Amino acid sequence: MAPTTLDLPAPDSAATLNLRNEDNRPINVQMRVFRWTQSGSADRLESTADVVASPPSQTLAPNADYVVRVVRVGKQPVVDEESYRVVIDELPDPARRRPGVVNLALRYSVPVFFRAPDVRQAQVSWTIGRSGNALAVTARNTGQQRLKIADLKVTDGAGQSVPLGKGLVGYVLGNATMQWSFPAHGTNLSGRAVTLSAQSDAGQINATAAVQAGR
């Protein structure tokens, strides 16, 4: 499947996803679009009619390629940045059911962003603290555009660089706050601040994270 993210600046309102079935049997898939928000440091997906995937379902022949159109059909102009996810589910095949055999169905979730030309870029402040035996890292985004975070590291009070999240950690959407939990691994949080680094869709992140008192 490609691309793995759709990013559409206004006035663009449509894009395509390319699906490929590399199996030697046909598979049935269903495409649904959800509005994506964040509240209480958690992702929320809600049904929407403002963006559609066409076709909404498809049988993919073996070793064949298919194109799915993702279209914003809402008539109101984009304000700031709108976030959605296209969820693609492989539907179970009744013909493959066998007693005592578990058949795994695949699911893909593709981020889709529609943004105004004058959207204010992500402005993220960071805090870190202990929560039991874990480290809680909080990202508060006062900008209007999301920030994708990967390969998160912290340099602790002893000067030791500690990897927290390898690969994709997650997103913090515009005007939202997210928190992630990681094993502490003896990280030293002495002092009022530590250095944090990560990769993002906007480039390298090098920031100072305020240290919160442990809970």
Mean pLDDT of the chain: 91
Which CATH superfamily is 6-115 part of?
A: Immunoglobulins (2.60.40.10)
pLDDT tens-digit map of 29-47: 999 999 999 999 999 999 9
- Residue 214 clears pLDDT 80, i.e. is over it: no
* 3-state DSSP assignment of residue 153: strand
Q: What pLDDT does 95 receive?
A: 63
Distance CA 12, CA 7 (A): 9
Structure pTM? 0.90
- Cβ neighbour number for residue 146 with a 10 Å cutoff: 26
pLDDT band at 162 (very low <50, low <70, confident <90, very high): confident
Its sign, for the CA torsion 39, 41, 42, 48, is: positive
pLDDT tens-digit map of 65-93: 999 999 999 889 999 999 999 999 998 76
Q: What pLDDT does 104 receive?
A: 57
Q: What pLDDT does 147 receive?
A: 97
Same-fold call for 6-115 versus 124-211: yes
Among 15-24, 50-59, 94-103, name the one with the lowest average pLDDT: 94-103
Q: Are 197 and 206 in contact (CB under 8 A)?
A: yes
Q: What pLDDT does 167 receive?
A: 94
Q: Are 47 and 53 in contact (CB under 8 A)?
A: no
% of the chain residues with pLDDT over 70: 93
Per-domain residue ranges of the chain: 6-115, 124-211
Domain 124-211: which CATH number of 3.30.365.10, 2.40.110.10, 2.60.40.10, 3.40.50.300: 2.60.40.10
